[in-house]
Amino acid sequence: MERVVKCAHCGSDHHCFEEIQDEFSSFMCFQCGFMSDTRFNEEYDSDASKNMAIVMNQMKHFDSKRKVWWYPSVVNMGKLGMIYPEPKSINEETGRVEKWVWKYSKVVPVEEGDTEAAGYTEKLDVENGQEYEGKDFLSAIKEMGITKDLTGEKN
């Protein structure tokens, strides 16, 4: 069962969904791009954070109501490209990301003479990725073409 809930990270009460399963619930906010799961408790995080990308640890958010951690999403859709958070400012005292953008990088053909991608025919074009404000994750996934509008047509 799916229902709309208030996002513990950005406060949206229109774009955050809870998917309820038999033994757990997962959460996804399409406004801020953060996600969680009832299994992402403090015990989970103490182990997972050791193997997590630094930026994930710098951006994670604790939901004191549900007692779970929320993390920024990374969407890898193969040939469609990837959406990921890119920090723009980090608090020097806390080491936490204060401002970020969502970056949508497309997959492009490798040009002849590209020595960094030698042996490949395609690469992720991170240098020319499109940027979206931190609370505009929805625009990034629309641009990627993985959402549908209310009429059921692909955006």
pLDDT, tens digit, for every residue of 37-88? 999 999 988 888 899 999 999 999 999 999 999 999 999 999 999 999 999 9
pTM given for the model: 0.88
- Residue 116 confidence (pLDDT): 87
Beta-bridged to residue 35, according to DSSP, are 28, 71
DSSP string for the chain = -EEE---TTT--SSSEEEEE-SS-EEEEETTT-EEEETT--HHHHHHHTTTS-HHHHHH-EEETTTTEEEEE--EE-GGG-EEEEEEEEE-TTT--EEEEEEEEE-EEEPPTT-GGGTT-SEEE-GGG-EEEETT-HHHHHHHHT--B-TTS-B-
The 10s digit of each residue's pLDDT in 110-150 is 998 888 888 999 999 999 999 999 999 999 999 999 886 64
Domain segments of the chain: what residues? 2-72, 75-144
Residue with tokens 């953060």: 34
**Pairing state between β 107-109 and 122-124:** antiparallel
- Residue 126 confidence (pLDDT): 95
Q: Which of the four pLDDT bands, split at 50, 70 and 90, describes residue 155?
A: very low
Between CA 69 and CA 89 the distance in angstroms is 21
